Amino acid sequence: MAVSKMDIPRRAQHFLECDIEECDRNCEFYCNLCHQKLCKQCRDEHLKSPENKNHEVVLYQQRQRQLPVEKCKIHPTKGMDMLCEECQVPVCSKCATQGDHRGHIFTDLETVYAEKYADFQEEISKIHEYFLPTSQDLQKEIKKDSSEIKNIMDNIRTSMKTEGEILKHLVDTAVSENMKQLDKIEQSLLEDLNIQEKTMDDYITYLNNLVKELHLCLSSTEPQKLLSEKKPKIQSIPETTKPVTPGFTAGQYSKSDVTKLLGKIHVPNTKAEKREIRPIQTVYNTAMKPRHKQMKEDRKKSDKKQTLSLSASVTKVREFNVPGVKNVFHISVYQSDIFLFSDNEGNLVQTDIQGNKIQKIKTRGGVGGYHTVTQDGDLIFTGKYTNVINRITQDKNVTEFIKTGDWRSLSIHSSHINGDLLVGMEKDGKGKVTRYNKTGKELQNIQRDNKGQGLYDTPHYITENINGDICTSDINKRAVVVVNKSGQHRFSYKGQNLTSLLNLFYEFRPFGICTDVLGHILLCEFQSDFVHLLDQDGQFLYILLTKQQGVEYPLSVCVDDEYNLLVGQRGTNTLTVYKYLQ
């Protein structure tokens, strides 16, 4: 079946525009009832209307696939929007009350269509994530064996020639006979490997063709065609065998028995071992959760986020001591209930939610947000006055991940949107932010605004907002500097005039910074004992925490997976947890 390039989904992301007339902003959300793409502002307006209060608005990636429009052949003015459970055919609402379908049970056709769509997407994921890579790995192994066969044969030839040179003219005939035998064995082994390689080529072609067929089913505008298609059964990966290579036994040197002295080629009397194929259960269950199940989990999280709002008051939930640190200068979420805390002396401690120490790492880190955790669970950290960014994988391997040249890395953040690393750096009193991808390739440098003025001095803390904005807390510049994902300066926040309130000379000194699921920016201000709350456009909302609420010299803030605010302070290893969202 022919499949156009436009029918095959691309992994590259692109921006979609909002469907609301005269709105040219990027789409972030989707209304499953209206089937409209919405930006954040239009989503808020959409849900404000009493008529839309029961509408389900989700992130665009979690949208329910819209049922292609198909008119009923019996009632042409009606669209088919239900599935008769007994007859397993799509029907319109009028058919459901008449004729052969009277009294039957019906299901929403759009729901069934979305589930079927997800099933086919799941099969495509299996092919892309298991069958294709596994087959390609086996093919590489076969090619590697072919190369090794040639090397082994060359080594045997060298040994045989060495024996022949020692025995000089007496060995010529025997060497020739052994060479012929070896060539036959080599030819036989390579022919077998060529057959195996051709088999894997045919199977990979079959998988690619199957993907194209599945995409064609998904792109059909006729629901009946998709619903009538049986879920394909993917053929098993063909078995292949590893070659059994010969060896060579050196002979005894004698003029009377040249053949014996030269030695003979021997093939081990061993059955070819089948190549190991990773079971799909191991790979798929751990690395590829079925997409429709994941969509349901993500939908629940999204629903919870959409019901959140700022509480009328802030409540202290608990506090605990972080063992092994003197101050809490920075906090990273390692897992939902495991955190990383650091002080200004290079102590990096991992604890659970009760403060029980799991491990302690000695680093060269100091003041600032010098550690983060990637989407894959790797710990990334840098050091004070160093130009090296290190990575610790989940199997505890420590490697030098990125070298920053002449620039000293101060802060680092792993994006929750795309996994990129954002690094705040300093050199000769000037600062910049550099973006790297997951592999450590440099993608972007942000240093000046559109007027050519330097944006940063010492970006000691860095984070990312839900809209992709890069937010830094620059201690020397005494400002929070925010740029969009393209690096264009959006705003700088330089605090509020609190001199009269504090009854002393007031100078804004920002430290730890973080954002939450609603796009708020939360900021520690060291001198005034305040935690500021801003919206994502830099508008000051109010002072969230003060000294009266137990905050003194706040250094670090972090919002956990339960939407609690964690606050670390100078002069103590006590970590305080607050509830500020409801």
For 434, phi then psi, to 5°, come to -115, 135
Report how far residue 317's alpha carbon sits from residue 564's, in angstroms, rounded to the nearest whole number.
8
Q: How confident is the model at residue 53 (pLDDT cuts 50, 70, 90)?
A: confident
Closest to 211 (Cα-Cα) out of 125, 116, 137:
125
Q: Which amino acid is at 51?
A: E
Can you tell me the mean pLDDT for 432-441?
92
The per-residue pLDDT for range 346-356, each reduced to its tens digit, is 899 999 888 89
Amino acid 545: pLDDT: 92
- How many other CB atoms sit within 10 Å of the CB of residue 225? 12
Report how far residue 416's alpha carbon sits from residue 303's, in angstroms, rounded to the nearest whole number.
18
Amino acid 2: pLDDT: 37
Amino acid 432: pLDDT: 96
The per-residue pLDDT for range 362-410, each reduced to its tens digit, is 888 778 899 999 988 899 998 876 789 999 987 778 889 999 999 999 9
The per-residue pLDDT for range 264-301, each reduced to its tens digit, is 777 777 787 888 887 765 444 443 444 444 444 444 55
Amino acid 253: pLDDT: 54
Q: With contact defined as beta carbons under 8 Å apart, do 567 and 306 qualify?
A: no
Q: Which amino acid is at 68?
A: P
Amino acid 209: pLDDT: 92
Lowest mean pLDDT among 68-82, 327-341, 471-485, 518-532: 68-82
Amino acid 479: pLDDT: 94
The per-residue pLDDT for range 18-49, each reduced to its tens digit, is 998 888 888 989 998 888 899 999 999 899 88
Q: Which amino acid is at 433?
A: V
Closest to 429 (Cα-Cα) out of 368, 474, 492, 489:
474
Quick check: helix, strand or coil at residue 190?
helix
Q: With contact defined as beta carbons under 8 Å apart, do 350 and 338 qualify?
A: yes
79: pLDDT strictly greater than 90: no
Q: How confident is the model at residue 503 (pLDDT cuts 50, 70, 90)?
A: very low
For 82, phi then psi, to 5°, come to -135, 155
Can you tell me the mean pLDDT for 321-332?
92
Q: Are strands 57-59 and 82-84 parallel, antiparallel or unpaired?
A: unpaired
Question: Where does 158-257 show beta strands of DSSP type E?
Answer: 247-249
Can you tell me the mean pLDDT for 180-188?
89
444: pLDDT strictly greater than 90: yes
HEC sequence for 258-318: HHHHHCEEECCCCCCCECCCCCHHHHHHHHCCCHHHHHHHHHHHHHHHHCCCEEEEEEEEE
528: pLDDT strictly greater than 90: no
Amino acid 317: pLDDT: 92
Can you tell me the mean pLDDT for 309-320?
90
For 132, phi then psi, to 5°, come to -65, -55
5 compared with 366, residue with greater pLDDT = 366
Lowest mean pLDDT among 228-237, 284-293, 522-531, 534-543: 284-293
10: pLDDT strictly greater than 50: no
